[in-house]
Amino acid sequence: MPRDPLIGIVGKPSSGKSTTLNSLTDANAKMGAFPFTTIDPNRATGYLQIDCACARYGKEDLCKPNYGWCSKGKRHVPIELLDVAGLIPGASQGLGLGNKFLDDLRQADALIHVVDVSGTTDSNGKATRGYDPLQDIEWLQDEIRLWIEGNLQKRWGTIVRRHTATKSPIVETLRAQFGGYGANMNMIAKAVDSIPDLPPLEEWDNEWITKMVKAFMKVKFPTVLALNKIDHPDADKNVSKILLKYPDTRAVLTSAITEVFLRKLAKQNYIKYEEGTEFIDTLEDLGEESGLKPLDEKLMQRVENIRDLVLYRFGSTGVVQVLQEAAKVLDLVPIFTVRNIQTFTE
């Protein structure tokens, strides 16, 4: 990858995309329970948590990286995130902010699809009850496919004539067409090789074009599902349906709004919170020597609800884990550089 990876945060309006961005970063993306809160794409730096090499050698106290930071053997590696405008059905035909969404999307190397599993927002992001979030997964992939496919179909006659005249390999011809989506030769070759019994390009009909676009999407836009709003009473049944329908898709249960709240309390010194875990400590837990501020009755009740409904039940808010899964689909490999392998300096 010739540049730092960019993870796109996608989904319909009001699904929790901007909240997810804020939970992963110190960004202040606008949040709101109404469609199209996000108009312009928000870029921010998130921090991917990985095991640092310092822990292997007992050097945690000496580890001071120039890139990100290390805390108790956990390295926080900067990674760029992009929260784009909400997508609605018909985006490939320009409905909503579809054209803008899809144009922003081409920059991304992988996607975190934030899905509202509470069923309290419809396909357009408007408040409702009992909506089936399975539909969101299906039509989002369809809209991206139709966008790419539509661009290809418009020029298909010219593409075939040029391919035949120049006698170019399929990969070379497709590179010229998919290059605008940030694809390279290796990506296209991988997509082509994944399709069994692929006929010569000049023999492709609409069905073969669709197969090619789907194969390209898997390579260009590997996706992790962030099943968000898991603390809602209706979430369990919807999560089960999604996991049964997409058993091979990476999915993480998340509560982004909970993560934002906990990080805010921690910054204000009301709690000690270990991100990515179930552990919260308050003044009552640690005593006055902790230096924590006391929580009033309302805040204490909210913290207890979070412990019971999210942290103890699911093990974390899931936000740290969803970024880790996005890094996995990109096959990112951490490199820990030092000048001297004996002293581990610089």
Q: Dump pLDDT digits (tens) for 206-223.
A: 999 999 999 999 999 999
pLDDT per residue over 159-183, tens digit each?
999 999 999 999 999 999 998 888 8
Residues spanned by the domain of 338: 1-153+222-255+318-346
CATH, residue 241: 3.40.50.300
Claim to verify: residue 188 and residue 299 sit in the same structural domain: no
| 109/23 same-domain check | yes
**Which of 220, 247, 272 is the last residue in one of the domains?**
220
Residue 142: its pLDDT value, please? 86
Phi (first) and psi of residue 228, to 5 degrees: -95, 160
196 and 49 within one domain: no
pLDDT at 96 over 50: no
- Among residues 226, 324, 318, which one has the least CA distance to residue 278? 318
Kindly report whether the global pTM for this prediction surpasses the value 0.85.
yes
Residues 278 and 260 in one domain: yes
d(CA 283, CA 287): 5
Q: Are residues 192 and 260 in the same domain?
A: no
Q: Residues 111, 236: one domain?
A: yes
pLDDT at 123 over 60: yes
Q: Are residues 52 and 112 in the same domain?
A: yes
For residue 346, what pLDDT band results from cuts at 50, 70 and 90? low
How many domains does the chain fold into?
A: 3
Say whether pLDDT at 291 is over 50.
yes
Domain identity same for 55 and 118: yes
E strands within the chain?
6-10, 42-51, 69-71, 74-83, 110-116, 223-228, 250-253, 272-273, 280-281
Do 189 and 97 have their domain in common? no
Q: What is the pLDDT of residues 306-335, one digit of tens each?
A: 999 999 999 999 999 999 999 999 998 888
Position with higher pLDDT, 287 vs 18: 287
What pLDDT was estimated at residue 124?
78
Highest mean pLDDT pick, 45-59, 142-156, 271-285:
271-285
φ, ψ dihedrals at 328, nearest 5°: -65, -40
